[in-house]
Amino acid sequence: MSEDIHKDNQSKTKKSDKESSKNELDKSWKEYNAALKLWKESLSNWQNATNEILNSYNNACKKALESDSELLKKISVSWEDTWDEIGPEYVKQQTKMFENIFKQTNVVAMKKFNEQWEKFLKTSGEDSIKAYQDAIKRFNSAWTIK
């Protein structure tokens, strides 16, 4: 009889362990999905902000070219100062992050994005803006929230 009680307790313990493990997996799954949703929203906001600033910069440069060389100089200095302030470190971080993601996941879209990012880094002036816009468009199309 004592053996039956022991077996019954072992059975209950195994069920309890399975339920606990399932609850932990469910919790992890929910946390992952919540983080993924937040990441997608943040990425979308970043993409929108990037497109907005690049379009604004491009439009301001075009208008300044047509009428005000002093304004063009201010725009250029502002752009350069901003990139000097945040650009180099940000570019390094982003490039390294994307390289690591690609290495870990072998995502074709990331490879294409990295190629476009390299193209942007190697070009200058208006070509770099167009290359960056092209890279962002390709990245957006590959990672658009559906």
Closest CA to 140 of 61, 70, 66, 48: 48
pLDDT of residue 123: 62
CA torsion sign, 102 to 38 to 118 to 146? positive
pLDDT for the residue numbered 10: 64
pLDDT at 31: 92
Domain boundaries, the chain: 2-143
Give CA–CA dist 114/91, Å, rounded.
Answer: 11
Q: Which tokens sit at 95?
A: 């490039």
The answer to whether 80 touches 106, Cβ cutoff 8 Å, is: no
Would you state the structure tokens that stand for residue 17, as one six-digit string? 């362990």
Mean pLDDT by 10 residues, the chain (146 residues): 61 72 87 88 86 86 83 86 75 75 65 70 63 71 62
CA separation for the pair 58, 72 (Å, rounded): 11
pLDDT of residue 87: 65
The reported pLDDT for the residue numbered 58 is 84
* Cα–Cα nearest to 118, from 91, 86, 80: 91
Task: For Cα atoms 138, 140, 143, give the angle at the middle one, nearest 5 degrees.
Answer: 110
d(CA 65, CA 73): 10
Identify the residue whose tokens are 């399932």.
22
